[in-house]
Each structure stands twice: as C-alpha cells, then as structure tokens.
Amino acid sequence: MKRSLAILIVPILMICLVVSCNQEAIIHTDTAETISIKVNHEFIIATPSNPATGYMWRETYDESMLELVVSTFEVSEAVKKGEAEVGLEQHLRFKALKKGKTEVLIDLLGPDLKHSKGQKRFNVAID
C-alpha cells in the first residue's frame, strides 16, 4: 500500500514542480500601475522600440532586489493582434530576488549613451 501511494505521489509532485517553474511572466507597460510580484518570480517590462535608430532602452535598478534575466526585441502586441503592420517592443525580463519595494528606471539612450529621448519609471512591490 505504501509503495503504491509513493508511486502516485512522486509523479504528482513532479508535475507540480514543472508547472510552478514554467509560470508565464506577465508583461507590464503602464508606469502608473505598481508591478506586484512574488520572490523568485519573473515579470517583463515592455516598451515600444526601434533599434534601427540606434536608440535603446537602458535599465537602472537595485541589483540586490532584482535580476535582469534578458533584454530582447519582440513583435509588438498590436502587430500580433492585427492592429498594426509594423512595431517592435523591447522586453526587459526581471526576476524578483527578495521582498520589498523598489523601482526600475529605463532611459531611451542613443548609441553614445549620453543623449536621452525619454525616461520611464516602474514601481515594483515584491512579496
């Protein structure tokens, strides 16, 4: 009986682990909304971008609170929905490291990293 129970429990635990590890990161675009996230979970900040101009969003954040996992360029949601024909977004994927409140500041900087064309601030609350 105990062996049968163990044979059932192990696959169930494995499935739970896989599902919890594969949680999809939520995409955030609105600076007016606080990003609420749990420790060890990931979120994405997405903002319109055109890397061909030489301008890219550069991030500043507290490295003790957040880890930048990857920065990529993706086809915009508007294009995916058929609402636009052209459009890219820069996706900054972060992982929350510890509880607390912090912020992510992103600057649209040119190739010389000196001239800014804009700035956005995202507040993050980590539980």
| pLDDT tier at 78, thresholds 50, 70, 90 | confident
**Tens digits of per-residue pLDDT, 85-114?**
878 999 999 999 999 999 999 999 998 888
Q: Which residue has the higher pLDDT, 115 or 102?
A: 102
Q: Which residue has the higher pLDDT, 33 or 11?
A: 33
Could you say which DSSP state residue 86 is in? S
Residue 6 has a pLDDT of 44
From residue 107, give the alpha-carbon distance in Å to each of 9, 78, 115, 117. Answer: 49, 23, 9, 8
Q: Which residue has the higher pLDDT, 44 or 84?
A: 44
Mean pLDDT of the chain: 85
Lowest mean pLDDT among 14-18, 25-29, 63-67: 14-18
Q: Can you name the CATH fold of 25-126?
A: Immunoglobulin-like (2.60.40)
The pair phi, psi for residue 35, each rounded to 5°, is -80, 120
**Tens digits of per-residue pLDDT, 45-73?**
999 998 888 999 999 999 999 999 999 99
pTM of the model: 0.78
Contacts with 116 (C-beta within 8 Å, 6 or more apart), sequence order:
107, 108, 109
Residue 83 has a pLDDT of 86
Helices (H) and strands (E) in the chain, counts: 2, 8
Domain spans of the chain, in order of start:
25-126
pLDDT at 38 over 70: yes
